[in-house]
Structure 1
Amino acid sequence: MKVENQKVVGIEYTLKNHAGEVIDSNEGEDILHFIQGIGNIVPGLEKAMHGKAAGDRFEVLVKAAEGYGVYDEKLVRRVPREKLKGLANVKKGMMVRSESPDGEQVFTVTHVTDTEIKLDGNHPLAGQDLFFAIRVAEVRDATKEELAHGHVHGPGGHHHH
């Protein structure tokens, strides 16, 4: 069976940055399952998956725009420390949730001073080209329930919300 839209795909992957450093990998761990064609994975990898079959191995370069997006300076905010009184022990690298008119947004704390906190709403991999090494472990039809919920359920397709 080939990878096409609305199929469940299971992959083993290694993700590297432009310097060849491993950023993430599930080799030797649980297979990553997703539904092809509904945006469960970055667009560039989803495009590269199309037409592959279980057992296929391939490598793909996903440009930043087709990965986690280009870096957007407008998503970087400097906030006076007193506005974040609830975050007494704020440290660089922490993730902070904030409500905005567009809904909840997640920021990474990138700099902390006595008076100011710098928050970055970009994905940590925004602006970076991504190098994936992929092994397709499984391709199967998605269940009606999986398609309705927009994600893959556990072994045998059983999952309760």
Structure 2
Amino acid sequence: MQISKNSAAEFHYTLSEAGEQIETSTGNEPLTYIHGLEGMLPGLETALEGKAAGDSFSVTLEPSESYGERVDDLIQRIPLKHLQGDTKVWKAGMTAMVSSNQGRHQVTIVKVGRFNADCDLNHPFAGKTLTFDVQVLSVREATSEEVSHGHVHSEGGCGHNH
């Protein structure tokens, strides 16, 4: 089966910039998504179209096809209690997750005060030309419940109520 609209696809990826590896899913859980629901970077989703289990490929994405260009001065002061991550002590240069009414966003901490942190709202990969090496593991038709929820469910459902 080939990846097309409403396919549930599972794949491993290695992400690099200028030949230097940034992150990889290999050795961890693969990435899953439903094709055509805009839950994936546009350029990567285009490259995945028509691929099947066992396919491996490489695609290089300009910022416009991935995380966008960097916006200078996109700094916001955020209360420390709103920063989510694996640490109790925040320092400049660390990344954190922040929930807003637009969803969850990754931010980079620029400066930490007693109660607030100045955070760069640009995604850490904004402005970068990124290369994804992808290995497609499985492709299947998504269930109607998965399509309505907008994500792939693991065995036993998704663990939240809609």
TM-score (ref. length: structure 1): 0.79
Deviations 1:85-133 (A, max 9, x none): 8699542115264768x6876532123579x954200111111111011
Any residues of structure 2 matched to 1:28-67 within 5 Å, and which?
28-67=27-66
Q: Which residue of 2 aligns with 1:6?
A: 6
Rounded to whole Å, the distance in 2 between the matches of 1:90 and 1:2 is 44
CA 109–37 in structure 1, closer or farther in 2 if over 3 Å, else same: same
Q: Which residue of 1 aligns with 2:123?
A: 123
Question: Are the aligned partners of 2:60 and 2:129 in contact in 1 as well (CA < 8 Å)?
Answer: yes
Rounded to whole Å, the distance in 2 between the matches of 1:99 and 1:35 is 24
CA 5–111 in structure 1, closer or farther in 2 if over 3 Å, else same: same
Q: Which residue of 2 aligns with 1:95?
A: 96
Rounded to whole Å, the distance in 2 between the matches of 1:86 and 1:30 is 29
CA 151–113 in structure 1, closer or farther in 2 if over 3 Å, else same: closer
What is the one-letter code of the residue matched to 1:95? A
Rounded to whole Å, the distance in 2 between the matches of 1:148 and 1:96 is 25
Which segments of 5 or more consecutive residues in structure 1 lack a partner in the other structure? none
Rounded to whole Å, the distance in 2 between the matches of 1:7 and 1:45 is 15
What is the one-letter code of the residue matched to 2:71? D
Question: Are the aligned partners of 1:98 and 1:107 in contact in 2 as well (CA < 8 Å)?
Answer: no
Of stretches 48-57 and 28-37 in structure 1, the one that deviates more from structure 2 is 28-37
More helix by share: 1
Identity of matched residues, %? 36
What is the one-letter code of the residue matched to 2:96? M
TM-score (ref. length: structure 2): 0.79
Structure possessing the higher radius of gyration over alpha carbons: 1
CA 109–140 in structure 1, closer or farther in 2 if over 3 Å, else same: same
Rounded to whole Å, the distance in 2 between the matches of 1:15 and 1:145 is 30
Query: How many residues were matched structurally?
Result: 153
Question: Are the aligned partners of 2:16 and 2:22 in contact in 1 as well (CA < 8 Å)?
Answer: yes
Rounded to whole Å, the distance in 2 between the matches of 1:50 and 1:98 is 31
RMSD over aligned Cα atoms: 2.9
